[in-house]
Amino acid sequence: MGAGGRMSAPNGKTEEKTNPLQKVPTSKPPFSVGDVKKAIPPHCFQRSLVRSFSYVVYDLILVAIMYYVATTYINLLPSPYSYIAWPIYWICQGCVCTGIWVIAHECGHHAFSDYQLVDDTVGLILHSALMVPYFSWKYSHRRHHSNTGSLERDEVFVPKPKSQLGWYSKYLNNPPGRVITLTITLTLGWPLYLAFNVSGRHYDRFACHYDPYGPIYNNRERLQIFLSDAGVLGASYLLYRIALVKGLAWLVCIYGVPLLIVNGFLVLITYLQHTHPSLPHYDSTEWDWLRGALATCDRDYGVLNKVFHNITDTHVVHHLFSNMPHYHAMEATKAVKPLLGDYYQFDGTPVVKAMWREAKECIYVEKDEAAAQGTGIFWYKNKL
């Protein structure tokens, strides 16, 4: 079997699961990551500087057009129509800026071009513009990819066992409580994660993405954390100067609310990719990289899949080969699905319905009751 070839699925099936809640297999896969790579056409691993930049330019043109329309025409509309136009602008601008965020994320994976300096320069500029500490998140996110599905070493949305839940959890395990939890998560979850490591991996001391000397980073990375902080501070100062000229209300309407939407989508996308009743987590006695990488879920956001550069519906292959450009990920996903078989998880449940279901069903994790005693496989539970 050569590169670009096909392998049959382990169970002989190539069709997608009819029940997305069916648990994925937890036994060691009958294929290796090398086998998966051979199933993908070789050109899918090729990065094009020109093509990657074309997506940046395209997104920035859309941002500029929407900025021009909003600042030129919305205030000319009669009040009832302007109240409708502003939310439309916020949503559309937030969605396109989420796509820009995804491209910067791709730079952090060295998937933008063959040149590390180019990737880091583009990523630093784009992420700083969106108030993200580029290198800080790049390194913590890299560790997330290296430890996906590990209860001890994963970096984000690490579920807790029932015994470690807060005292307030039982009071939030109801519809009003879930509304409160989801609202806080989508609006404040991203800045709380960056500043206080909320929902992140447990460290023995305070962990913060802005702290070069924090436990998240090693000595070789600290200088670049300072650079990330400088990028965010520079962007903050620029916004401050704009607010002095244009006013705070103008800045909130043009930049602030779309940024909130970007942050909300970022948290939602990541949450739904790694939180699903069918996905296992592993402790150190059971975890290995391949099974952890496969413990992720592709989702369907409709037209937003393209706006978000398919980070939503090609996440499984992204975890297997994170340096693959997004514009090849769809082809690669189609190529590996027959080989992955039941190890591939896709859930086309509408996003809002899926978000509510996961918030209801995925409260904590417990050991697999059906597995042999002592096996370190954990599944989501919700009985408090």
Residue 5 lies in a domain: no
pLDDT at 14: 43
- The pLDDT of residue 13 is above 50: no
- Cα-trace Rg, the chain: 21
Strands 377-381, 364-367: pairing kind: antiparallel
Residue-range definition of the domain harbouring residue 341: 43-381
Please check whether residue 36 lies inside any domain of the structure. Answer: no
For the stretch 272-309, pLDDT in tens is: 999 999 999 999 999 999 999 999 999 999 999 999 99
- HSE, CB side, 13 Å, CA atoms: give it for residue 286: 22
Confidence of residue 3 (pLDDT cuts 50, 70, 90): very low
Residue 244 has pLDDT above 60, yes or no: yes
Q: What local confidence, expressed as pLDDT, does residue 6 receive?
A: 38
pLDDT at residue 2 tops 60: no
Is residue 11's pLDDT more than 70? no
Identify whether 6 is part of a domain. Answer: no
Q: Does residue 82 contact residue 75 with C-beta atoms inside 8 Å?
A: yes
Percent of the chain residues past pLDDT 90, beyond the cut: 91
The chain-wide mean pLDDT, for the chain, equals 94
> Is the pLDDT score of 67 beyond 80?
yes
| Domain assignment present for 117 | yes
Residue 109 lies in a domain: yes
Is residue 29 a part of any domain in this protein?
no
pLDDT band at 116 (very low <50, low <70, confident <90, very high): very high
Query: What is the torsional sign of CA 206, 207, 212, 213?
Result: positive
18 in a domain, yes or no?
no
The length of the chain in residues reads: 384
24 part of a folded domain: no
Determine the average pLDDT of the residues in 36-44. Answer: 98
Q: Structurally, how many domains does the chain consist of?
A: 1
Spatial distance between the Cα atoms of 127 and 228, rounded to a whole number of angstroms:
9
**Nearest Cα residue to 91 out of 308, 261, 256:** 261
Q: What is the pLDDT of residue 9?
A: 44
Q: pLDDT tens for residues 126-181?
A: 999 999 999 999 999 999 999 999 999 999 999 999 999 999 999 999 999 999 99
